[in-house]
């Protein structure tokens, strides 16, 4: 929608305009899309910023004669230059490179009518300036058909609940519950003496959960996982499916989850596919040092007040279980 494009370009212009005149370079898999986005971004700057220039750069020709991942692979950020990378075009079209990692701004542009800012360097804008609104926009566009696309993995959620050791009488929080696919299994595990709440920051996801009648087995709350409306040590179990890798600051997010969990309580970090399979779905390969890698997740959890005691990353499941210290 034109309104979404206007929101994104206006936000970027607002963030960037107070800085000294510079060049904004927009790059992505589709040169035409990059040029069009660059033009829209240039038009969004106020008249006082007309000394700026916004350019689109084409992909580079690689040694084999094909386009490489990104022209940003050979461009380094500089004080007079902002690099913007558009994630766009068919997945797997380009070999993965470092262009996206070098960009100060990353935009999901696979649907050019619904771009979403996915990263802004903290030197440009505090995460609170963009993270919540842009993440909601990302998931809002997917909420209505989420269960249609992913509903066949509900048995994997049920198995994850079993492996997490949820017991009768437990208080369980499903943080980032989405459409509530785990809620029926969690409610069955805690029984009539327990309580289950599903929390998500996207109204459309909670609406889809209600449409599927999952509010009949759990309380649904609109909430940001980074700032939970929950008292200290309230939960016995935190179930977090597809959450941690979306948090802009994993340690801060895991610390907030620890705050609302009693000592000895359990955190279950879950995804219904393994990390490699999820990365392939998004057209990339795993890199060392990612937050959910075993070598990094343990120390991250320890810093946030957890002890990792189970780590499983197989094709049909990622599951990490930790105990609140």
pLDDT for 57 equals 66
> What phi and psi values does residue 101 have, to the nearest 5 degrees?
-70, -25
> Is 55 within 8 Å of 113 (Cβ atoms)?
no
> Is 109 within 8 Å of 88 (Cβ atoms)?
yes
Domain ranges in the chain are 2-140, 146-324
Gap between the Cα atoms of 123 and 101, Å rounded: 15
- Architecture of domain 146-324 in CATH? 3-Layer(aba) Sandwich (3.40)
Whether the pLDDT of residue 239 is over 80: the answer is: yes
3-state helix, strand, coil in the chain (%, to 5): 35, 25, 40
Poorest-pLDDT segment among 7-16, 31-40, 93-102, 198-207: 93-102
pLDDT tens digits for 208-229? 999 999 999 999 999 999 999 9
Poorest-pLDDT segment among 88-92, 117-121, 124-128, 188-192: 88-92
pLDDT tens digits for 43-67? 898 877 655 788 876 443 333 334 4
pLDDT for 65 equals 38
Whether the pLDDT of residue 74 is over 70: the answer is: no
Q: What string of H, E and C letters represents the secondary structure of 227-257?
A: ECCCCCCCEEEEEEECCHHHCCCHHHHHHHH
Whether the pLDDT of residue 271 is over 80: the answer is: yes
Q: How far is CA 226 from the centre of its chain?
A: 13
Whole-Å CA distances, 61 to 65, 73, 87, 89, 122? 6, 12, 18, 17, 32
Structure tokens given for 70: 């990104």
pLDDT tens digits for 12-38? 999 988 877 778 888 876 778 888 999
Whether the pLDDT of residue 91 is over 60: the answer is: no
């Amino acid at each position: 929608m034109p309104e979404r494009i206007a929101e994104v370009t206006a936000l970027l212009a607002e963030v960037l305009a107070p800085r000294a005149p510079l060049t904004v370079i927009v790059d992505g898999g589709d040169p035409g899309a990059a040029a069009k986005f660059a033009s829209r971004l240039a038009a969004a700057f106020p008249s006082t910023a007309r000394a700026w220039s916004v350019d689109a750069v084409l992909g580079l020709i690689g040694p084999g004669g094909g386009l490489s991942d990104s022209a940003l692979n050979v461009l380094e950020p500089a004080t007079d230059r902002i690099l913007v990378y558009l994630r766009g075009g068919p997945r797997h079209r380009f070999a993965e490179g470092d262009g996206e990692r070098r960009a100060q701004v990353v935009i999901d542009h696979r649907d050019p009518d619904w771009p979403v800012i996915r990263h802004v360097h903290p030197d440009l804008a505090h995460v609170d300036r963009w993270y919540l609104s842009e993440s909601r926009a990302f998931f809002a566009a997917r909420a209505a058909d989420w269960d249609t696309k992913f509903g066949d993995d509900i048995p994997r959620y049920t198995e994850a609940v079993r492996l997490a050791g949820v017991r009768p009488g437990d208080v369980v929080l499903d943080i980032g519950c989405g459409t509530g696919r785990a809620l029926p299994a969690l409610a069955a595990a805690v029984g009539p003496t327990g309580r289950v709440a599903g929390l998500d920051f996207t109204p459309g996801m909670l609406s889809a959960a209600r449409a599927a009648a999952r509010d009949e087995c759990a309380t649904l709350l609109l909430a940001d996982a980074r700032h939970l409306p929950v008292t200290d040590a309230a939960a016995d179990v935190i179930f977090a499916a597809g959450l941690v890798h979306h948090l802009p600051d994993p340690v801060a997010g895991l610390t907030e989850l620890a705050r609302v969990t009693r000592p000895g309580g359990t955190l279950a970090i879950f995804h219904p596919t393994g990390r490699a399979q999820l990365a392939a779905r998004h057209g990339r390969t795993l890199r060392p040092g990612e937050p959910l890698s075993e070598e990094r997740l343990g120390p991250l959890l320890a810093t946030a007040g957890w002890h990792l005691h189970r780590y499983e990353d197989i094709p049909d499941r990622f599951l990490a279980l930790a105990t609140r210290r």
